[in-house]
Amino acid sequence: MTIQAIVEELGLEALVAADLAREVRGGYCSDLLSDVLAHAKAGDLWITHQRHLNVVAVAKLRELSGVICVRGLAPGPDVISRAADEKINLLLTSEDAFEVAGRLHRLLHP
Amino acid sequence: MSPPIPPIHKRIFLVAAGDLEGAGSVSTAVRRTLRELGVEPDVVKRAGIVCFEGEMNMVLFSQGGRIILIVREDRVELLFSDRGPGIANIDLARQPGYSTAPDWARELGFGSGLGIPNMEQNSDRFEIHSRVGEGTVIRSTILRGVHDDTGDRGGARA
């Protein structure tokens, strides 16, 4: 399933729509950067409360398909511009991590 | 032992203590350099992760230091050296989950105690030396042309 389809199905706000045609392999929920580096897989959508610049670096390093910021915790303009530079899809939802992870899981594993 | 193959590229990066905003920039530059040199994508990815973790450790824990990238025909080497408190117990620091990070760093998602294990896991050879009150030196070696291109090394990633 593409990011575009997930954005529409889950009603996400695309803060950075770098590559909405990108296929999503799965999801990973974590607020620990090194944990994501160690265990997320390329193509995963990363669900997190973190919203600082290093989030973009980690998403890039692990070749994630995008980042979902939860509970309306929008990153600042510096993060948005870095994500755009690095071509990382950056998405925002007002839902909490549990809700959005559950809905994403149902979409990817119907 | 045969002498190492001479470097085809060498570059030195300086890392400032506490510069969280700029943190990750060396890792980005290293990946770009390796890609431009035509280094295998899997090696680029692993070197990027090793470099990011090393850089973060320097930014969070040291008083600054430098990272040297050496590219050879058969390997990529990353040498980290910093001035700082050093690591009192290296065996503990190599264990996943052990961290001495302060609360403010943990709130930002650092300090999960996976930094050094991640560096080790993405290296083919890994050496770490530290002296308390002086600093830490790490050498990571990633061999070229020995892994597949998926970025995941089979059983190495538990």
What are φ and ψ of residue A28, in 5° steps? Answer: -145, 130
Q: Where are the domains of chain A?
A: 3-108
Distance from CA of A64 to the nearest CA of B (A): 12
The reported pLDDT for the residue numbered B151 is: 45
Q: Where are the domains of chain B?
A: 9-148
The reported pLDDT for the residue numbered B19 is: 86
Q: Are A35 and B56 in contact (CB < 8 Å)?
A: no
Segments of chain B with pLDDT less than 70: 1-2, 147-158
pLDDT digit string, tens, across residues A19-51: 999 999 999 999 999 999 999 999 999 999 999
Burial of A31 (0-12, 13-18, 19+ CB in 10 A): middle
Segments of chain A with pLDDT less than 50: none
| Whole-angstrom distance, CA of residue B71 vs CA of residue B142 | 10
Distance from CA of A80 to the nearest CA of B (A): 14
Q: Between the CA of residue B138 and those of A50, B6, B53, B95, B127, what are the distances in Å?
A: 28, 20, 12, 16, 6
Its CATH class, for the domain covering A3-108, is alpha beta
Topology classification of domain B9-148 = Heat Shock Protein 90 (3.30.565)
Contacts of A32 in chain B (CB under 8 A): 109, 112, 114
Question: Could you give the ipTM of this predicted complex?
Answer: 0.87
Q: By the CB < 8 Å criterion, does A105 face chain B?
A: no
| Whole-angstrom distance, CA of residue A40 vs CA of residue A28 | 6
Distance from CA of B132 to the nearest CA of A (A): 24
The reported pLDDT for the residue numbered A68 is: 98
The reported pLDDT for the residue numbered A37 is: 97
